[in-house]
Amino acid sequence: MLKRIKYIFLLASFIFVDCYGQDPTFSQFYANQLYLSPSFAGATEEYRLALNYRNQWPSIPNSVFHTYSISFDKAMPNFNSGIGVLATYDVAGSGNLSTTNIGLLYSYDFAVTKEWHIRPGVNFKFYYLGLDIYKLIFNSQLSGSGVNPSIYPPPFESVADVDFAASALAYNDRIWTGFTLDHLLVPKTSFYGDDASVPMKFNLYGGVQLYKKTRMRTKLREVLSVAVNFQTQAKFNQTDIGLYYYRDPLIFGLWYRGIPFLTTQAGDALIGLVGIKTSQLHIGYSYDFTVSNLIGNTGGAHEISLVYEFTSFTIGTGKKRIRAIPCPEF
pLDDT one-digit tens code per residue, 112-138: 999 999 999 999 999 999 887 766 666
Neighbouring C-beta atoms of residue 222, cutoff 10 Å: 13
pLDDT of 61 > 90? The answer is no
What's the CATH number for 2-310?
Answer: 2.40.160.40
pLDDT, tens digit, 9 for 90 and up, residues 35-55: 999 999 999 988 999 999 999
pLDDT of 5 > 90? The answer is no
Side-chain half-sphere of 276: how many Cα atoms within 13 Å?
A: 3
pTM: 0.87
What is the Cα–Cα distance from 43 to 6, expressed in whole angstroms? 46
pLDDT of 67 > 60? The answer is yes
What is the Cα–Cα distance from 29 to 229, expressed in whole angstroms? 9
Q: Which amino acid is at 72?
A: F
- Specify the pLDDT at position 314: 52
pLDDT of 266 > 90? The answer is no
Q: Where are the domains of the chain?
A: 2-310
Phi first, then psi: what are they for 198, rounded to 5°?
-80, 120
Lowest mean pLDDT among 122-136, 152-166, 229-243, 305-319: 305-319
What is the Cα–Cα distance from 36 to 34, expressed in whole angstroms? 5
- Specify the DSSP class assigned to residue 188: B
